């Protein structure tokens, strides 16, 4: 089975974007103002770190009852003087309107960083450049197509910006539709990840995924570049690496990274004791401190296996056919 994807522009206004970080920043400012105002009006209230819409609504109800009890007439327009109680009421009303808007926005993100106001399912993605080579950021969908023996066997629409996050749900849907899995999967480098490799191994699917550094790894520059770990010697008995100057990068600690889907990958960090006086300093490592590298052993193992698969007599024509 051959899988590839493309971005399809959504039928939505390209200026209707809502960004997650902007919403979080504006909500933080709103929370600070609302907490300060509520503490002034209701000193006996115990306010937590987060002011909910229900708390703001409750405060508005209390102010409205006070306005009615004092028989205050709400005024508006030029030349009308508002009472302090009316100003407080209108201020809280504005806070409540904005907080409800932010609550709605947060419910629409669904692990995304953006969405369109006129099409909530569309995500802003970087599309291919137009004929003037202008980079385009527009609301779009990620269309995935699976082909086997020149027949389209599956289509999937996703709001994921990258192809990496679309592979697992797409394959699960195909398995549910056909009641079986395909034996071989041929993809480009955009689908390479440790999470996808683990899933394919569990499903007993042979991956033919070109590593993202495949073309670059064949160049002389890659072979000479000392900044890459592949140019160092690994010392298994010490669990350390030796650079070209003979200095040892010993194991220091593990670091973990969690994907949006919840998959956790682990990497090992190796660091040199000191790079002071090294003749390669500035070429091998341009930082101020000792050189540090990060090694994802499981990911490297899967990458080597995929590289081996695509270079076999069976893998080469499959990779050529994928382009076709």
The predicted pLDDT at position 228 comes to 66
312 alpha-carbon distance from chain centroid: 34
Inside any domain, residue 48:
yes
**Structural domains in the chain (count):** 2
Inside any domain, residue 179:
no
Q: Are 238 and 248 in contact (CB under 8 A)?
A: yes
How far CA 12 is from CA of 158, 159, 219, in Å, comes to 16, 14, 43
The predicted pLDDT at position 267 comes to 93
The predicted pLDDT at position 7 comes to 92
The predicted pLDDT at position 208 comes to 95
Domain final position from 92, 111, 130 = 111
> Which residue, among 306, 284, 285, has the nearest Cα to 212 in the 3D structure?
306
Q: Point out the residues of the chain with pLDDT beneath 70.
A: 223-229, 288
The predicted pLDDT at position 217 comes to 79
pLDDT per residue over 200-241, tens digit each? 999 999 999 999 888 887 787 776 666 666 778 889 998 999
How far CA 105 is from CA of 22, 112, 115, 321, in Å, comes to 11, 11, 9, 43
Domain final position from 111, 145, 166 = 111
Inside any domain, residue 145:
no
* Cα 114 to Cα 117: distance, rounded to the nearest angstrom: 10
Q: Are 298 and 194 in contact (CB under 8 A)?
A: yes
Question: What's the domain range around 81?
Answer: 17-111
Inside any domain, residue 258:
yes
Domain final position from 55, 80, 111 = 111
The predicted pLDDT at position 136 comes to 79
Instruction: Give this prediction's pTM.
Output: 0.78
> Which residue, among 24, 270, 12, 1, has the nearest Cα to 139 in the 3D structure?
12
């Amino acid at each position: 089975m051959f899988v590839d994807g493309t971005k399809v522009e959504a039928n939505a206004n390209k200026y209707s974007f809502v960004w997650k970080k902007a919403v979080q920043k504006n909500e933080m400012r709103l929370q600070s103002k609302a907490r300060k105002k509520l503490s002034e009006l209701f000193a006996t209230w115990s306010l937590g770190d987060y002011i909910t819409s229900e708390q703001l609504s409750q405060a508005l109800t209390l102010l409205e009852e006070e306005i009615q009890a004092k028989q205050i007439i709400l005024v508006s327009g030029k030349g009308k003087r508002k009472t302090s109680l009316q100003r407080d009421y209108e201020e809280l009303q504005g806070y409540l309107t904005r907080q409800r808007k932010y609550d709605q926005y947060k419910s629409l993100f669904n692990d995304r960083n953006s969405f369109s106001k006129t099409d909530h399912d569309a995500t802003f993605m970087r599309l291919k450049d137009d004929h003037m080579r202008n980079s385009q950021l527009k609301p779009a969908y990620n269309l995935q197509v699976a082909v086997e023996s020149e027949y389209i066997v599956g289509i999937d629409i996703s709001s994921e910006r990258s192809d990496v996050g679309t592979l697992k749900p797409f394959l699960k849907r195909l398995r549910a539709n056909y009641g079986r899995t395909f034996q071989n999967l041929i993809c480009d480098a955009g689908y390479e990840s440790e999470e996808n490799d683990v899933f394919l191994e569990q499903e007993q699917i042979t991956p033919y995924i070109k590593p993202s550094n495949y073309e670059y790894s064949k160049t002389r520059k890659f072979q000479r570049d000392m900044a890459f770990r592949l140019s160092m010697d690994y010392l298994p008995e010490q669990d350390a690496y030796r650079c070209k100057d003979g200095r040892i990068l010993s194991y220091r600690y593990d670091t973990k990274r969690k994907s949006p889907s919840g998959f956790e990958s682990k990497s090992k960090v190796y660091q040199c004791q000191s790079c002071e006086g090294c003749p390669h300093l500035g070429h091998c490592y341009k930082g101020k401190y000792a050189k540090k590298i990060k090694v994802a052993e499981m990911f490297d193992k899967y990458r080597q296996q995929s590289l081996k698969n695509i270079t076999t007599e069976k893998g080469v024509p499959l990779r050529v056919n994928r382009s076709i």
